[in-house]
Structure 1
Amino acid sequence: MSRPLPPLNALRAFEAAARLGSVSRAAGELHVTHGAVSRHIRTLEEALGRPLFVRDGRGLALTADGLRLRDLAGDAFSSLQSGWAALQRDRRPSAFVLGCPGSLLARWVIPRLERLAVDLPTLTLHLSAQEGGFDDALTGLDAALLVGEAPWPTGWDVHPLVPERIGPVVSPRHAGFVRLERAPASALANEAVLHTASRPQAWPRWFEARGVDAGQLRLGAGFDHLTYLLEAAVAGLGVAIAPQELVQADLESGRLVAPWGFVDTGGEWALCTRRGNPDPRIPALATWLRAMLA
């Protein structure tokens, strides 16, 4: 019974010799001897019953059958190489695209990327800073890390992480720090506090939670983004308000102090995905985030 296909090694040797126009060069490319390539070619010629090469002066020339087999083998090996490369690419998981507000990205996520790489070594993140909120389809994202509260979009699966807590912070460099450090929360009614347009309800909520009339709130310098607000606070420009998790490193280093504590806002940190997304990296990332935030 005849073989349905010639030996693969013989085809490789023939294809290289036909493409390079030399048995010696084919042997060099394949890292075999000149004799091995010649034997492979003879194997094909014997199986076919016709020559594939003829002598042409001091070199070799392809016969009509040789030309046909060269083209067939060349196309086949090219297709195999392309397909194999695609399979290798498919084995490598694509980057997990995580969107989050710029302030969370800069002050919480980026400082923990080294730890993430150690704890979840197979997770490759692509981080996307989002300003102005997320659309219901989470377009272009595998997940969003954010702080919010119900009701959530109906097309999302929401993985709660920790409750959000906010509180005022002030730098020891602030001119009124000694006076404010031991003052009650009501003393902030006399301060022109720093604030951000991205969280207009943060100060009123905190005042109300501490039993201080929010009507006494005096707003000082305002900033478009929370990141800039906190940089101003660290520089000693005034009292700012922020989520506890975003200033924890500043509190631990002494750059900022929180004399009046933090209160729950009713919101929460959450990892949000499109409903029904089966990606196994999602629960693993949610578990890691929950542990780090806790």
Structure 2
Amino acid sequence: MAFPRLAANGAAAISDSRARRSGVMRTVLTPSRLGRSFELTGAAFDLTHASVMRSAPLLPPIPALRAFEAVARLRGVSRAARELLITQSAVSHHVRKLEQDLGVTLFVRHARGMDLTPAGERYYDTVGRAFALIADGTAALASEANAVVRISVLPSFAAHWLAPRLGRLRKAHPTLTVELDPSLDAADLRAGRHDLAIRYGGGVWDGVDATLLMTERLTPVAKTGSTLADLPLLITRKAFDWTLWSAAAGFDFAAARKVQLTDYNVVAQAALQGEGVALGRLRMMGSALEQGVLTAPYDLVLETREAAYWIVIASGRRPSRAASTVIDWLRSEAAD
């Protein structure tokens, strides 16, 4: 058997009868020549232009990092799969492969799901900050003339307070485009899909920096002419503001009849229809009281930072110039 001919440039050309008939020459490239040109049947082939990119020695594959970050943030494989638009098995494969490559267990698996190990917590913090840095750098490249500011906001706040004021924003800043994403779910600001969010509550949430926009003014309201004793309380899934007002008023909230609704928009509409007593958020429902459609049967109007609207950005991230412009405008509107 004849040994393959070794070309002067280090490429060993191996052919068989089938290859000769097809005119294709199979070539084995020696490792010592990586990155240099090789002669293939008289043509030059430069490995530096190959379509397959070699990974950096200490950088795991980006899909694996994205899968790990999503599972850690969302606390579940199924939710991560929905966000990433891949199958659950693909997410699990990425995470297992990452653990194998690192030689570290990142999650503890149990019947209820997955929890981060101490090492996983540390790595999640690192990966999350890295993605945030990439998102910041990407946002910095955006042109100010065509800037788009994406805001995650509660549907009720968007409908009753923010949307009616957007015309003034367009007039003051005609080059800005604002995209509202009304959602009941807290947006993941570290992922970079939103520039900022407006959240309702006490201002303390993990992974974000919150700045007070304005406090809400809370008091029960009902349709004018209703008999309060016949009406249930209308509450949302998180009725912490009812709890705050009840504690301040000495009202027995626990003993009251209640109807739970999905969103404050639905609560407000049900109150207007006479279906129950809502805890009026007067920043949004004040006009209905002024017009006499609703009545406020109690004197106490509670105003507290524990039930307030907050401008929220990812922790440690500096907002873009366009986002800062919108934040300043929001504050000026809230101050009026």
Q: Do Structure 1 and Structure 2 share a fold, with TM-score over 0.5?
A: yes
Normalised by the length of structure 2, the TM-score is 0.51
Q: How large is the RMSD of aligned CA atoms in angstroms?
A: 2.5
Equivalent position amino acid for 2:301 in 1: F
Q: Does 1:287 align with 2:309?
A: no
The answer for the alignment partner of 2:302 in structure 1 is 263
8 Å Cα contact 1:198-1:226 kept in structure 2: no
The answer for the alignment partner of 1:238 in structure 2 is 276
The answer for the alignment partner of 2:156 in structure 1 is 103
Equivalent position amino acid for 1:167 in 2: T
Measured at CA, do residues 166 and 199 of structure 1 come closer, stay the same or move farther in structure 2, by a change above 3 Å?
Answer: farther
The answer for the alignment partner of 1:159 in structure 2 is 211
Q: Deviations over 1:135-178 (max 9, x none)?
A: 35254101101212243323x23221112332211122x432xx
Identity over aligned pairs, percent:
26
Q: CA deviation at 1:234?
A: 1.1
Q: Does 1:204 align with 2:225?
A: no
Q: Deviations over 1:86-108 (max 9, x none)?
A: xxx94632311111011111121
Measured at CA, do residues 135 and 256 of structure 1 come closer, stay the same or move farther in structure 2, by a change above 3 Å?
Answer: same
8 Å Cα contact 1:204-1:214 kept in structure 2: yes
- 1:108 match: secondary structure: helix
Higher Rg = 1
In structure 1, the gaps of 5 or more residues are 1-88, 181-189
- 1:214 match: secondary structure: coil
Larger relative contact order (Cα-Cα within 8 Å, sequence gap ≥ 6) = 1
Q: 2:233 aligns with which of 194, 202, 211?
A: 194
Q: 2:177 aligns with which of 111, 115, 124?
A: 124
Measured at CA, do residues 289 and 258 of structure 1 come closer, stay the same or move farther in structure 2, by a change above 3 Å?
Answer: farther
Equivalent position amino acid for 1:228 in 2: V
2-structure distance, mates of 1:138, 1:166: 33
- 1:195 match: secondary structure: strand
Measured at CA, do residues 285 and 252 of structure 1 come closer, stay the same or move farther in structure 2, by a change above 3 Å?
Answer: farther
- 1:165 match: secondary structure: strand
Q: Deviations over 1:64-94 (max 9, x none)?
A: xxxxxxxxxxxxxxxxxxxxxxxxx946323
Q: Deviations over 1:207-263 (max 9, x none)?
A: 1111223343222x3311110110111122221113221212322333223232421
In structure 2, the gaps of 5 or more residues are 1-141
The structure with the largest helix share of the pair is 1
Q: Does 1:169 align with 2:221?
A: yes
The answer for the alignment partner of 1:51 in structure 2 is none
